[in-house]
Amino acid sequence: MTHSLTADAQPRSVTGRMVAVKEMAQLQRMLFEIEREFVRTATTLVYRVGDVELKYLICQHVWESAGHARFLRERGRELSGFGKDECVRESYSAIFEEAVRAEDSLVALVGFYRVLKPALLAAYRHYLETTHHLADWPSRKLVEEFILDEERHADEVAQYLQGVGGDEWTQHLSIALSAIGGWLGERESIAAPSDFEWISRTVPYRHLDTCNRGDSPIASTAYGYDPEQFPIVRSWLEDPETDARVLRVMVYVWLMMELDAVDYLATVFYETPVAPFDMHYDLARHLWDESRHSAFGYRQLPKLGVDLTRLEHSLDLYNILVQMSPPERYAMMTMEFEAGSFGTKAQIMDKMRELNDFEADTLLAFDRNDEQQHVRYGHRWLPEIMRLFNVEGSVDAFVANTKVRFEECSKTYGGQTPHSLSAEERLTGNKILALVGIK
Ligand SMILES: [Fe+2]
Ligand SMILES: [Fe+2]
């Protein structure tokens, strides 16, 4: 009798003693789930919006959100009650699933940035108000940083939201969010009206068949052998006689075209909802790296006299890969395109040193370092993505089969994008020669 009383009473009193910690750990757990779900779903905006700079910005915000989630998980696990798993509660994923259902890309953007992100900022502020400044100082310092980030994100995106409208959509998402009383339940919850319809319950989400590039001219590919047609002339890349100034322009075009990697990698998050968070964290880093590599070209080319309105964006890789499964996409990216790029890039880097262009050397060195890291991510996460999709057999066999499948899919989905510009108008290998004063 006495024994059983003690056994009963003890857990209750332990729980009681830690209640203040548990409550805060629970809020951190909720914030972690919101940030990770933002990473999974806001990535669908990347290939839907057409503005290049906006794509870069979303990648940056996604990476920062992944960082918030990681810090929250690290700190949360120091506290009693954070929980060991990493899954997202249904009430949150329902709202994020709804947010991706906006038909118009900018309205979708507005939903994330006028409703879900401001509510997250409010949730962080609530955390600061609720917690004890001294007892929970380590969390407080993190949350103060995150608030500054969220405020900056709002400022950075503001110019893209101007004049978009989307009031009906923001109202729709606000209703969904109010039904749970805000992210942390910190507000009074208001039940959704009886005629409220969750679009996500009836309409499946599907990636776009082709990525949006807004006003930019497009084509199937930027690579070829004919200098009258393509800006990146494959034979010139390998030729030791190619002028270093030509290589510099071509390699910046190559880097800028990595925007295709940005768009197709962005599709993988949404389709892997139960991935370990560390996988999404590394993928978010990978995504942001590719957007930076693309920006290397985007920012440097105009300085070298290239008119970006004459440079066609290549869409083939997105168009082909989006038809393949996420493990296939990721396998092609890391095990084929990235692992296979080092030899050629090394030659180009050696040759370009002739130019004493410190900035170009630096950008290429960081690109190389990032790419080595991406191949490491591939070795780490490809087996995991294969598991998530019940792919059996060895990784090597899967990669080999995927290459064959890619060739097959290329026949159907590749080469379908006509040139926006005539050969006279667009940047080509021969125009690059003229640009650097060779012809
Ligand atoms: Fe890259
Ligand atoms: Fe890469």
Render pLDDT for 284-340 as a digit per residue (tens, 0 to 9).
Answer: 999 999 999 999 999 999 999 999 999 999 999 999 999 999 999 999 999 999 999
What CA–CA distances, in Å, run from 369 to 19, 330, 358?
A: 46, 19, 16
Q: Taking a C-beta distance cutoff of 8 angstroms, is the pair 106, 170 a contact?
A: no
Q: What is the pLDDT of residue 12?
A: 52
DSSP string, 215-246: TS-EES-SEES-TTT-SEEHHHHH-TTS-HHH
Contacts for 430 with CB less than 8 Å, ≥ 6 apart: 227, 228, 439
| Tokens 């109202």 sit on residue | 171
- Ligand 2: centre distance to CA 170 (Å): 35
How many A from CA of 373 to the centre of ligand 1?
A: 10
**What confidence tens digit (pLDDT) does each residue in 172-187 have?**
999 999 999 999 999 9
Query: How much is the pLDDT for 7?
Result: 43
How many angstroms does the Cα of residue 374 sit away from the middle of ligand 2? 5
Distance 134 CA to ligand 1 centre (A): 44
Which residues in the chain come in under a pLDDT of 50?
A: 1-11
Per CATH, which fold does 19-201 belong to?
Ferritin (1.20.1260)
Domain ranges for the chain: 19-201, 218-435
Residue 293 CA to ligand 2 center (angstroms) comes to: 8
Q: Which residues contact 131 (CB under 8 A, 6 or more apart)?
A: 24, 27, 139, 140, 143
| 163 Rama class: left (phi>0) / alpha (psi -120 to 50) / beta | left
Ligand nearest to C-alpha 291: 1
Q: Where are the beta strands (DSSP E) in 126-281?
A: 218-219, 223-224, 232-233
Other residues' Cβ atoms within 10 Å of the Cβ of residue 70: 18
